[in-house]
Structure 1
Amino acid sequence: MEFNPVFLIIDDNLIDQLVTQQLLKKVLHVNQVVIVNNGQEGLQWILNSKKETEKLIVLLDIQMPVMNGFEFLEEFQKLNDGIKNEIQIYIVSSTLDPDEIHQVKKNENVSGFLSKPLPTDNLRKFFIP
């Protein structure tokens, strides 16, 4: 089975963007990585650029300007199920705040929580079916 989703990195930190992109390419051999700087840009990309049957994996930071990760999840919830069913969202954060972690874990649209920096040793188990 071929593993060829598009990854959308939603993170305002340039270093985290570059490190995550390189990890995805080197560890998972991902071809398509899109990077945006906040939740608003991420939603716009999903609505304007995502192809109909394309599998999309979103790596979402929590703390960002303009629209943070929680605000993104609120807006994402409003999208139609046809779009939402083709998208997996993983929170990628360095937060240690138990309230934020609880909020992430109870969100039905979030597939998982990954700590920064991404765990290269078990990265494959998260994303490869």
Structure 2
Amino acid sequence: MESKTNILLIEDNLIDQLVTKKLLKKVLDIDEVFVANNGLEGLQWIIKNKKNYSSLIVLLDIQMPIMNGLEFLDIFQTLNEEIKEEIQIYVVSSTLDQDEIQQIRRNEYVKDFLNKPFPIDKLREYVQSNYLL
């Protein structure tokens, strides 16, 4: 199956990066997963590379150094509409903070909040239902 979707994983934990990348490659048959270690790196990657990809799924962690996921979302909403087009953001976090969860769920750019450990089957359903794979 040829992937039409590219994935950007914004995650600071190296073990989570490795596990998530392996899951995505195996279960969704994704050839390459791009990784950013924090929200700032993620924004920089999107601004620099989005024009090369028709669609992009962003898997966003919340707790990260330099720029956390909530700060990423605040700045993402200020980007040019052409950059934001065809980007689906899924927040993947183990947070139990209900205020954070509600803030995430209210964000118009967040497709869904997914609890860690990473729910690969749920993401596969989203991707397939949106014909992204």
> Taking structure 1 as the reference length, what is the TM-score of the superposition?
0.93
Q: CA deviation at 1:51?
A: 2.4
Q: Determine whether 1:109 maps to 2:79.
A: no
Q: Distance in 2 between matches of 1:111 and 1:34?
A: 19
Q: CA RMSD in A?
A: 1.6
* Fraction of identical pairs, as percent: 61
Q: Residue 32 of structure 1: CA displacement? A: 2.3
Q: 1:18 to 1:5 in 2, by over 3 A?
A: same
Q: Any idea what SS the aligned residue of 2:51 has?
A: coil
Question: Using the alignment, how far apart are the partners of 1:100 and 1:60 within structure 2?
Answer: 13
Partners of 2:79 and 2:19 lie apart in 1 by 30
Tell me the secondary structure at the aligned position of residue 103 of structure 2. Answer: helix
Q: Work out whether 1:61 is the aligned partner of 2:99.
A: no
Contact 1:21 1:33 (C-alpha < 8 Å) held by counterparts: yes
Deviation at 1:126, TM superposition (A): 2.2
Aligned match of 1:41? 41
2: distance between equivalents of 1:121 and 1:45? Answer: 26
The yes-or-no answer on 1:86 pairing with 2:76 is: no
8 Å contact from structure 2 (residues 10, 35) kept in 1: yes
The 5 A counterparts of 1:23-34 are 23-34=23-34
Where does the alignment leave 5 or more consecutive residues of structure 2 unmatched?
none
On the 8 A contact 1:89/1:110 being kept in 2, the answer is: yes
Equivalent residues, number: 129
